[in-house]
Each structure stands twice: as C-alpha cells, then as structure tokens.
Chain A
Amino acid sequence: QVQLQQTGPGLVKPSQTLSLTCAISGDSVSSAGAAWHWIRQPPSGGLEWLGRTYYRSKWYNEYAVSVQSRITVNPDTSKNHFSLQLDSVTPEDTAVYYCTGESGGGLDFWGQGALVTVSS
C-alpha cells in the first residue's frame, strides 16, 4: 500500500518561498504509470489542483495556470520523494496542502495534509 508523508513548515512570511516535501513509501517516484500531485484547500474552501510531476522515459511537469509563474514541483529519486516550491507567497496562499499519488486515472493516495499559514 502506498503511503505519503508530508513535511514542511506551517508558517511562512509574505513574499517568501513555501517549501513542502512528500516522502513516498510503497512505490517509486519514477514509477511508470504513476504521477505525483500537489493539491491545496483554503480554510473553508474547495480543492485546487496545483501541479504534478511524472516519469515516462523522461520527467514531465504540469502546473496550474493560476500559479504557473511561481511553482516548482521536483522529484528526488535518491530520496524517493517529491517537493513543492511556491515563491512570493501572500496570505491568499494560506491553505491545507496535500500531496497525492495517481496510479491509474484518479488520485488514489493522499498525504495527511499540512496547514500552511502565510503571515508576518
């Protein structure tokens, strides 16, 4: 069974970079057929897809238009994890952030979620 464990700070200052890591157990970040996503959910709000990374003979990344200029999702094969970097954050980036895994058509596996607050 695939498990995802998120780590990262819960408080980030405005204009700084939000960084989160998602450790994968039970699968490989470079597994053919899998993809690894970041999703967020503002307080009392809905889900927002942020981006994903996946390996199909080479690495691919896709990002939401809304954060395209500020986001980086990187795989790390040596540690079997993937990360989220969101630059120049504002209070509107305050949300619960989830890492998720897709093995065949849907987001099957979810991390525990982490509330990240952007505040000075």
Chain B
Amino acid sequence: QSALTQPPSASGSPGQSVTISCTGTSRDIGTYNYVSWYQQHPGKAPKLMIYEVSKRPSGVPNRFSGSKSGNTASLTVSGLQTEDGADYYCSSYTGSNGFVFGTGTKVTVL
C-alpha cells in the first residue's frame, strides 16, 4: 500500500488560508469516507484535527475544515495563526490493507 501523496510544504501569512491536498486512489480515499487529518508539532504526538472527511473533534477550532472529491481529500486552515505552523498528515482506511498515511506537509506561517 503506497503512502497518500501530499505536497511537502505550504505556507501563508497570519489571517490567510492554506489548503493541503491528499491524493490517493479508488482503493482508499475514492471508496471510503474514513479520511482523517493530524497535526504534529516537533517532538509531540500527532493530534486528530478532522475525521470522517469533514468532522471536527471537540476542541478543534472551526478554522479547520476538511473535504473530499474523488480520490483527493483536502484540509483547509482559515485565518492562519502562528500556532498552526506544524506538520500535517492525512490518513485513509483502505479496506483489507488497513490504513495508510500521507507523506506529510510542513505548514509555515510567514
């Protein structure tokens, strides 16, 4: 099972929006609505930001939103704040092969 494809980096100024793409195949993102997004700061465990494509866990700001179209999922962070600078990983269920993560995107707040 190959990793989902994400851009290595993305950036934006405070207050702007940034969107991260996550491209899979018809065997994962294209079939299942079990796409999640995780935020990871250096030296810390990942934190769940979005699950089931577009749902936000309690406590996650509504600046974070998720969507999916075909084999590609996206995470948008609106109104960027300095603390949003981190690595972001997508994940999808793949059926018989379990789960797969994306390659990761480093978000820099300029």
B64 at the interface (CB under 8 A from A): no
A110 at the interface (CB under 8 A from B): yes
Within 8 Å by CB of A108, from B1, B34, B48, lies: B48
Taking CB atoms and an 8 Å cut-off, the chain B residues in 21-43 that contact chain A are 34, 36, 38
**What's the dominant secondary structure at chain B's contact region?**
strand
* A-side contacts of B99, CB under 8 Å: 37, 49, 52, 64
* B-side contacts of A49, CB under 8 Å: 91, 98-101
Closest to B95 in A: A62
Taking CB atoms and an 8 Å cut-off, the chain A residues in 77-120 that contact chain B are 98, 104-108, 110-113
Q: Is the CB of A47 within 8 A of B45?
A: no
B46 at the interface (CB under 8 A from A): yes
Give the A interface residue count (CB, 8 A). Answer: 23
Q: Is the CB of A46 within 8 A of B98?
A: no
Taking CB atoms and an 8 Å cut-off, the chain A residues in 13-71 that contact chain B are 37, 39, 46-49, 51-52, 62-66
Q: Is the CB of A46 within 8 A of B101?
A: yes
Within 8 Å by CB of B98, from A62, A104, A106, lies: A62
Q: Is the CB of B57 within 8 A of A108?
A: yes
Min CB–CB distance B79 → chain A (angstroms): 23
Q: Is the CB of A47 within 8 A of B89?
A: yes
Min CB–CB distance B10 → chain A (angstroms): 15
* B-side contacts of A63, CB under 8 Å: 98
Min CB–CB distance A16 → chain B (angstroms): 25
Question: Do A64 and B57 form a contact, CB below 8 Å, given A47-B104, A112-B45?
Answer: no
* B-side contacts of A108, CB under 8 Å: 48, 57
Going nearest first, the 3 A-B pairs with the smallest beta carbon separation are A106-B51, A110-B45, A105-B51
Given A46-B102, A65-B97, A106-B50; 5 other pairs, CB 8 A cutoff? A47-B38, A66-B1, A105-B36, A106-B57, A111-B45
